[in-house]
Structure formats: structure tokens, C-alpha cells
């Protein structure tokens, strides 16, 4: 298990939190660990859509919760670690071009929150200042 990963039991407890608690916990963990997790393979990152057909990039606070949500769907896909600073500085501008929003900590198709890129940047910057 990677040093910033958690046990399956800890991941299941996090997955069991209500939406508001998953959002708050996600920002706390991202600020503390300095990284977030997305799902993909060596070439691409997995995006999804909501009911309004908006493009969403799902993110998770730990590799374990990302794995529990996605494993077994496609061979070769895995949790991909992205440093928070790189996400803010490099990924958000690219996501603007994709007209994508951020899906915070989805569990079984229940997204804890959908944030615009500006909302994500504001919340993440505030969380980093608190940590």
C-alpha cells in the first residue's frame, strides 16, 4: 500500500459518509496530502457525464476509494495520482478547454458535489490556506 493510501476498511467508511461530509473530507485530505486521484490508464483519464450531459472529471481523496469505485471495469485502468498544485496550475486550464466540471468523490453514481472549475479552485485554495 502506498504511503498516502488507506485500508479498504477506511475507504469503506469514507464511502459511507453523506455527500456533504464526503466533500468536506475530500478537501481536507487533498490539502493535507497534497494530491488527488483520478481514474485512467497510461494514455487517458476517465471522464463521465451527469444527467444534464455535462462532462465531469471524477476525483477522489485516496487511491483506495478510486479503486473501489472503478476496479474491474477496464483492464489497464488504475488510480492516477495528481499533485494538487499541478492540478490547479496545469489541469484546470486544460479542463476549461474541455468544458468540464469536477465530480467530487462519486460513490456508486452518487456524486458528493459537482463543482465548476472556479468553485473547485476557490474551495481548494481555501483548504490549502487552512492546512
Domain boundaries, the chain: 8-130
pTM, 2 dp: 0.92
Sign of CA dihedral 34, 117, 114, 58: negative
At 15, the pLDDT band (50, 70, 90 cuts) reads very high
Tell me: the pLDDT tens digits for 78-121? 999 999 999 999 999 999 998 999 999 999 989 999 999 999 99
pLDDT, residue 4, reads: 59
CATH architecture classification, 8-130: 3-Layer(aba) Sandwich (3.40)
Neighbours of 41 (CB within 10 A): 13
CA distance 118 to 37: 19
pLDDT tens digits for 50-73? 888 999 999 999 999 999 998 777
Residue with cell 487511491: 63
Dihedral sign for Cα atoms in the order 22, 55, 99, 47: positive
For strand 55-59 and strand 100-104, is the pairing parallel, antiparallel, or unpaired?
parallel
Query: Each residue of 30-49: pLDDT tens digit?
Result: 999 999 999 998 889 999 99
**In the structure grid, which three cell numbers stand for residue 6, read together?**
488507506
**Whole-number Å distance between alpha carbons of 81 and 62:** 9
Amino acid at each position: 500500500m502506498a504511503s498516502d493510501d488507506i485500508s479498504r476498511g477506511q475507504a469503506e467508511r469514507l464511502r459511507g459518509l453523506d455527500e456533504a461530509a464526503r466533500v468536506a473530507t475530500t478537501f481536507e485530505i487533498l490539502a493535507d496530502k497534497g494530491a488527488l486521484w483520478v481514474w485512467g490508464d497510461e494514455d487517458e483519464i476517465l471522464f463521465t457525464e451527469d444527467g444534464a450531459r455535462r462532462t465531469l472529471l471524477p476525483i477522489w481523496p485516496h487511491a483506495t476509494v478510486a479503486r473501489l469505485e472503478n476496479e474491474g471495469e477496464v483492464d489497464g485502468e488504475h488510480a492516477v495520482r495528481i499533485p494538487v498544485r499541478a492540478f490547479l496550475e496545469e489541469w484546470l486550464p486544460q479542463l476549461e478547454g474541455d468544458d468540464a466540471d469536477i465530480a467530487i468523490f462519486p460513490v456508486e453514481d452518487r456524486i458528493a458535489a459537482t463543482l465548476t472549475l472556479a468553485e473547485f479552485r476557490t474551495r481548494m485554495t481555501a483548504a490549502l490556506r487552512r492546512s
